[in-house]
Chains A and B, each alone.
Chain A
Amino acid sequence: MNTEYSMESDFEKFHIHSLEDFFSRDDNELIDATNFPRNELIAWKQRIYEKHFPSILSADKLVSRYCLTGIPLLDRLFNGGFPAGTVNEVVGPSTACKTHWCLSMVAANLLADSRFEAMYMDTNQSFHHSRLLKMVKAQQGVDTLAPDAIRSLLRRIQVVSVPSWTDFWNKLTRLNECMQQHPVQLIVIDCITTLIRREYAASSHAAFIERSRVLSLLVTRLKAVAETYNLTVVLTNQPTTKFASSIPGPLVAAARGERPYDSRQVPALGPAWSHFVTTRVLLQFADSRRRELVLAKAPMAACVGFQFQVTNGGLLADEDSLNYREDVDPTCPTLRTR
């Protein structure tokens, strides 16, 4: 047996372009390409399968890890919090308190575990250290924090400013370097929509295709990061206007000169994105004074909603207002703005 040809580094010799290409060819095509005798080919294939065979664990050996959500009622509904390995979306209109909630989530986790580390990827300068510390003080019920305590907290949060898509992508693809020094358990991306809209506005059909391609890359990368490092990703999303007659998006409708006779606010980034996120949480306005949180998609809990108040320490749920919200469409829920 010719053991030189044991790994995919030799694919080029045989004009096999990639692993996907290798896997999509049948035995006869591979024999034509490699000139291996059949038994050598089978042994070669077996070595490649063994190399890429995924790990398998029985469910009783799985260890569940989660991040606190910062809202005790939601932690109870989720039996712990947002599970590790998942990508969770918080979507809401402007002033719905998405950033406030993300900060309170970070604060709650930093306080609950002295080894907890988080990363905050900030696309539009929403993060301020003073705001986080104010939240920590409110959650602990104290007026001041000792300098050591402040240092310990701030040392455990990596704030990364990512004003452009390139900055964001570079950081996301180089996480290995950061994780070696700071084993982060929670990554907050606030706000993913700003990045996409800045550089991939879907104003024509070609631009829409490009945006879909970029979203597909983003989806793969985020899932890989969450899975590889067993961490939780929470990202914020904004609404977009969905017109009754527009395909594929509102900007295209405007470019065609269509008038928005019938429109509603729905989460941006499209319906394919809705498949991808593990959890979708809506933050919206029940009416001009009351705010509500609705679980549009949550495999860990039923689709419920409750009202909340905004406090210095985060979002305070009104537990008596908890009710089932089976009427909410997880793919394209209508967001209630103020």
Chain B
Amino acid sequence: MSSDDLFECSPADKLVKELYGLPGSGKTQLCLQLSVNVQLPEWLGGLEGGCLFIDCERTFILERVKQIITGTQHHLQKFPQNSARMNDFTMEKFLSRIQVCRCLEVVQLLALAHSMNELIEQKNIRLIIIDSLAFPFRCAFDDLNQRSRALNQLSYLLQAAAERWKLAVVVTNQMTTRIKQGSQVVPALGDLWAHTPQVRIGLSKTATHRLAKLVKSPVEDENEVPFCITEDGIRDVQL
């Protein structure tokens, strides 16, 4: 299995995918790469559409996105059948198809989720990314019951959007320490949230490369895929 297979965003499955991992494990880098890849033609693994990047932690750094776009442009030039469409893949066109929404609070996130149909239709959004879902929810609620209910609302709205508009949803999550007969580092947002995403991918880092572990999927077995982060973006690595 290559990293493309693991991270593929197909419209047919209308799934909510979660990427979780410790800080620096590559969640944001993957999201930035996906926000570019979704714009590519279907025969190259894209969905020929735009991306709604919901940035809850100010991780959408323009310079890094431009580096990834440049890397993608170099990759596209290798395919002569694409040469007629190179005008669609200039830096400005790539950037214009990523809608960046900075949400600091849960109420903004929920207001957006309730009213985003018009935006999805106008901008041909095929991928919604939330980076990270954990931050606004971990900070906003003292009442865990209210937090669970708000999280359920948001999950329902994301799933409904995925089904109605046939798009993919990718959400990143942080890690927390669970103290129960020793301490264990587990994805944040609790056990109730853990049931929501149909696909869960855990990211980790070794001394030489990074690992993406598919821990939950309706179609694939558990699997582990190495990848690396280069100046041009996410790439496979041969071990």
Give the complex CA separation of A274 and B25 in angstroms. Answer: 12
Q: Which residue of B lies closest to A78 (CB)?
A: B63
A300 proximity list for chain B (CB < 8 A): 61, 63-64
Pairwise interchain contact A297-B98, C-beta atoms closer than 8 A:
no
Pairwise interchain contact A83-B61, C-beta atoms closer than 8 A:
yes
B150 interfacial by beta-carbon distance below 8 Å: yes
Give the complex CA separation of A25 and B150 in angstroms. Answer: 8
B177 proximity list for chain A (CB < 8 A): 248, 271
Give the complex CA separation of A280 and B22 in angstroms. Answer: 14
B74 proximity list for chain A (CB < 8 A): none
A15 interfacial by beta-carbon distance below 8 Å: no
Known contacts A59-B96, A220-B139, A276-B135, A53 near B24 by CB under 8 Å: no
Pairwise interchain contact B22-A60, C-beta atoms closer than 8 A:
no
B23 proximity list for chain A (CB < 8 A): 271, 274-275, 280, 297, 330-331
CB distance from B77 to the nearest CB of A (A): 21
Which residues of A from 265 to 285 have beta carbons under 8 Å from B?
271-272, 274-276, 278, 280
B141 proximity list for chain A (CB < 8 A): 20
Give the complex CA separation of A58 and B153 in angstroms. Answer: 26
Give the complex CA separation of A48 and B112 in angstroms. Answer: 11
Known contacts A46-B115, A227-B102, A330-B23, A60 near B179 by CB under 8 Å: no
A14 interfacial by beta-carbon distance below 8 Å: no
Pairwise interchain contact A302-B59, C-beta atoms closer than 8 A:
no
A224 interfacial by beta-carbon distance below 8 Å: yes
Pairwise interchain contact B174-A20, C-beta atoms closer than 8 A:
no
Max chain B Cβ within 10 angstroms of own Cβ: one of A52, A56, A57, A275: A275
Give the complex CA separation of A152 and B110 in angstroms. Answer: 46
A23 interfacial by beta-carbon distance below 8 Å: yes
Pairwise interchain contact B96-A58, C-beta atoms closer than 8 A:
yes
Pairwise interchain contact A219-B139, C-beta atoms closer than 8 A:
yes
CB distance from B127 to the nearest CB of A (A): 14
B62 interfacial by beta-carbon distance below 8 Å: yes
CB distance from B51 to the nearest CB of A (A): 9
Known contacts A227-B104, A278-B58, A248 near B99 by CB under 8 Å: no
Give the complex CA separation of A48 and B114 in angstroms. Answer: 11
Contact with A along B16-29 (1 / 0, CB 8 A): 00000011110011
Pairwise interchain contact B95-A23, C-beta atoms closer than 8 A:
no
CB distance from B48 to the nearest CB of A (A): 17
Give the complex CA separation of A248 and B176 in angstroms. Answer: 12
CB distance from A82 to the nearest CB of B (A): 10
| Interface range for A | 35 or more
Q: Which residue of A lies closest to B174 (CB)?
A: A275
A223 interfacial by beta-carbon distance below 8 Å: yes
Pairwise interchain contact A58-B97, C-beta atoms closer than 8 A:
yes
Pairwise interchain contact A58-B24, C-beta atoms closer than 8 A:
no
A201 interfacial by beta-carbon distance below 8 Å: no
A226 interfacial by beta-carbon distance below 8 Å: yes
Pairwise interchain contact B99-A56, C-beta atoms closer than 8 A:
yes
Give the complex CA separation of A55 and B99 in angstroms. Answer: 10
Q: Which residue of A lies closest to B28 (CB)?
A: A299
B231 proximity list for chain A (CB < 8 A): 302
Contact with A along B101-114 (1 / 0, CB 8 A): 11110111111101
B211 interfacial by beta-carbon distance below 8 Å: no
Give the complex CA separation of A275 and B207 in angstroms. Answer: 20
Which residues of B from 75 to 123 have beta carbons under 8 Å from A?
92, 95-104, 106-112, 114-115, 119
Pairwise interchain contact B24-A330, C-beta atoms closer than 8 A:
yes
CB distance from A186 to the nearest CB of B (A): 15
Known contacts A20-B146, A226-B58, A271-B175, A57 near B63 by CB under 8 Å: no
Pairwise interchain contact B99-A327, C-beta atoms closer than 8 A:
no
CB distance from A326 to the nearest CB of B (A): 6
B174 proximity list for chain A (CB < 8 A): 272, 275
Q: Which residue of B lies closest to A60 (CB)?
A: B95
Known contacts A20-B107, A83-B61, A272-B176, A327 near B207 by CB under 8 Å: yes
A329 proximity list for chain B (CB < 8 A): 22, 24, 205
Known contacts A59-B95, A219-B139, A276-B135, A23 near B153 by CB under 8 Å: yes
B149 proximity list for chain A (CB < 8 A): 24-25
Pairwise interchain contact B98-A48, C-beta atoms closer than 8 A:
no
B24 proximity list for chain A (CB < 8 A): 274, 280, 296-297, 303, 329-331
Which residues of B from 146 to 184 have beta carbons under 8 Å from A?
146, 149-150, 153, 174-177, 179, 182-183
Q: Which of B96, B106, B109 contacts A60 (CB 8 A)?
A: B96
Give the complex CA separation of A45 and B115 in angstroms. Answer: 10
User: What would be 15 A-B contacts, judged by CB atoms less than 8 Å apart?
Assistant: A20-B150, A24-B149, A49-B111, A52-B108, A54-B112, A56-B119, A59-B60, A59-B62, A85-B58, A247-B179, A272-B176, A274-B24, A275-B134, A326-B205, A327-B207
What 3 A-B pairs are tightest by C-beta distance, nearest first? A330-B24, A60-B95, A24-B149
